[in-house]
Amino acid sequence: MMITVNEQPVYCYTNSRDIEPTKPSIVFIHGSGMDHCVWTLASRHFARHGNNVISVDLPGHGRSGGAPLATIEAMANWVITVLDTLNIEQAALVGHSLGSLIALESAAAHASRIRAIALVGTTSPMPVSDAILDAAEANDHSAFDMLTQWGFSKRHQFGGNRSSGIWMIGNTLRLYEQSGPDVLFHDMRACNDYQSGIEQASRVKCPALLLLGAEDRLTPVRSTQGLQSALSSAKVEVLPGAGHTIMVEAPNAMLDALHQVL
């Protein structure tokens, strides 16, 4: 589905279905340098379970036009504008990595619009190494290589996808390569600069889930203690054997966990 937001074309994957006002709505938000396709399995699953699903391409990503937004706050406001455009009064948000910070900020700043959040592969603050930032700013392919290598657990570096013939590492690398110039850098810088996550988490009143990979090297479980404390009523699920890219490393376990809040 193509819609217009802030005079720019925006693509939303809806499982080829119209938005129905009587159904609960779930918005899926991808991570840095990615697009809606990382949520295809989850979007289809929850659409079949009676929900409106809206898997967005953030500005400048995938099929959406415009320039990438510079801050997490701007991205959160943009998500609310998407809801307004679709005439959705309230929605649950599921975000991965960068998307998890957007979901967190949205729930804190727009509490009446968000009924639940699921933060996948998350932490706050979410510092980004100088090596990745410098490579991304230079549009150097090594930024894609580093994120792809560190984004999977060591076990999944060797394959193991439950769907025969799908190469997780290769698919992720190609998705990064499809992003436009400077897109990854804008995303990584927004993650690195967002310092109010813990404060905002303390304001979140809706049900929340932290879905973490036990072997995540980008947002390790040990770094989430502050966020867990601030989200005092949040459910926390740590998936054994999974790294940062939980959607493909542990897809079925992810769906089971998401049902706890969605």
- The mean pLDDT of 150-173, rounded to a whole number, is 74
Q: Is pTM, for the whole model, over 0.85?
A: yes
**Can you give the CATH number for the domain in which 106 is found?**
3.40.50.1820
pLDDT at site 162: 62
Contact 227, 235 (CB under 8 A): no
pLDDT, tens digit (0-9, with 9 covering 90-100), for 37-86? 999 999 999 999 999 999 999 999 999 999 999 999 999 999 999 999 99
pLDDT at site 192: 98
- The answer to whether residue 160 scores a pLDDT higher than 70 is no
- The answer to whether residue 5 scores a pLDDT higher than 70 is yes
- The mean pLDDT of 131-140, rounded to a whole number, is 98
- The answer to whether residue 257 scores a pLDDT higher than 80 is yes
Contact 242, 218 (CB under 8 A): no
Orientation of helix 72-85 relative to helix 98-109, angle to 10°: 70
- The mean pLDDT of 115-131, rounded to a whole number, is 97
Full domain range(s) for residue 136: 2-258
Residue 12 pairs in a beta bridge with 56
Q: Return the sign of the alpha-carbon dihedral for residues 144, 139, 79, 232.
A: positive
Task: Please state, rounded to an integer, the average pLDDT across all residues of the chain.
Answer: 95
- The mean pLDDT of 167-192, rounded to a whole number, is 94
pLDDT at site 166: 61
pLDDT, tens digit (0-9, with 9 covering 90-100), for 212-238? 999 999 999 999 999 999 998 899 999
Count: domains in the chain: 1
Kindly report each contact of residues 199-204 with a partner whose C-beta sits within 8 Å and lies 24 or more positions away, as own/partner: 199/230, 200/104, 200/105, 200/108, 200/109, 201/104, 201/108, 201/124, 201/227, 201/230, 201/231, 202/230, 202/231, 203/108, 203/111, 204/104, 204/107, 204/108, 204/111, 204/117, 204/231
